């Protein structure tokens, strides 16, 4: 079991774009998704909160990578201004607030892995990289969301088909991971 704890200490849960703009009415992205999307996005907050609490207890690093745009960001050529740095829309949603020890990085592009500070923060903690850099990814299927349920299911199938090399291990639910992490004993205190 100590090797399992060591594996968890070299793992991270990366929370991407759980900013107010993506979830609540008035947010540019939330409005683009419509009311059904907003309801589904809001429904993942509580399970994601349980996952983050279990991760912290198990020694898994929690990393937030959330849009914090500035006026010159290239992403704003595709999307209207959203989640602008320093605004309520760029803040992480209530219920998922970062805690001491968590890593919080704003991002200006779709992928946080394009931000050198993001990669540096992971490397400093002995953590791996995303799929393109050889990271061993796990998708938490009920803590992800897309504009439509169909797009969500299609996205999961895409991950399963093209990126997962062990889908049964790499596509998991919040309950499965919380149960697994809860079963790992705490390290002995000397």
**For residues 49-54, average pLDDT:** 96
Rounded Cα distance between 9 and 61, Å, is 7
Instruction: Give the per-residue pLDDT at 186.
Output: 65
Phi/psi class of residue 91: alpha, beta or left (left: φ > 0; alpha: ψ in -120 to 50)?
A: beta
Rounded Cα distance between 156 and 145, Å, is 10
112: confidence class by pLDDT, cuts 50, 70, 90: confident
Please state, in angstroms and as integers, the Cα–Cα distance from residue 152 to each residue in 10, 88, 140, following that order.
28, 26, 12
Instruction: Give the per-residue pLDDT at 183.
Output: 87
**For residues 40-56, average pLDDT:** 96
Rounded Cα distance between 67 and 85, Å, is 8
pLDDT of 39 higher than 90: yes
Instruction: Report the share of the chain in percent with pLDDT over 70.
Output: 91
Rounded Cα distance between 55 and 178, Å, is 8
**For residues 2-30, average pLDDT:** 85
Instruction: Report the share of the chain in percent with pLDDT over 90.
Output: 72
- Give the pair of three-digit tokens for residue 187: 């390290």
pLDDT of 142 higher than 80: yes
1: confidence class by pLDDT, cuts 50, 70, 90: very low
The secondary structure element, H or E, covering residue 15 is strand 12-16
pLDDT of 16 higher than 60: yes
Global confidence as pTM: 0.88
Pick 128 or 117 by higher pLDDT: 117
pLDDT of 127 higher than 80: no
146-169 pLDDT, tens digit each: 999 999 999 999 999 998 999 999
**For residues 122-137, average pLDDT:** 67
Instruction: Give the per-residue pLDDT at 188.
Output: 54
| Rg, C-alpha atoms of the chain | 17
Instruction: Give the per-residue pLDDT at 5.
Output: 52
- Give the pair of three-digit tokens for residue 140: 């938490």
């Amino acid at each position: 079991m100590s090797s399992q704890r060591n594996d968890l200490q070299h793992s991270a849960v990366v929370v991407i774009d759980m900013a107010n703009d993506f979830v609540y009415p008035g947010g540019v992205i939330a409005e683009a998704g419509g009311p059904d999307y907003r309801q589904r996005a809001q429904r993942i907050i509580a399970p994601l909160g349980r996952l983050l609490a279990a991760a912290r207890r198990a020694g898994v690093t929690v990393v937030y990578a959330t849009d914090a745009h500035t006026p010159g960001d290239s992403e704003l050529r595709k999307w209207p201004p959203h989640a602008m740095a320093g605004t309520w829309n760029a803040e992480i949603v209530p219920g998922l607030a970062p805690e001491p020890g968590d890593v919080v990085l704003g991002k200006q592009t779709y992928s946080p892995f394009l931000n050198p500070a993001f990669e540096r923060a992971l490397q400093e903690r002995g953590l791996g990289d995303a799929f393109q850099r050889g990271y061993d990814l796990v998708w938490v299927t009920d803590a992800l969301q897309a504009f439509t349920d169909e797009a969500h299911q299609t996205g999961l199938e895409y991950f399963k088909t093209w990126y997962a090399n062990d889908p049964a291990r790499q596509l998991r639910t919040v309950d499965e991971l919380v149960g697994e992490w809860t079963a790992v004993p705490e390290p002995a205190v000397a």
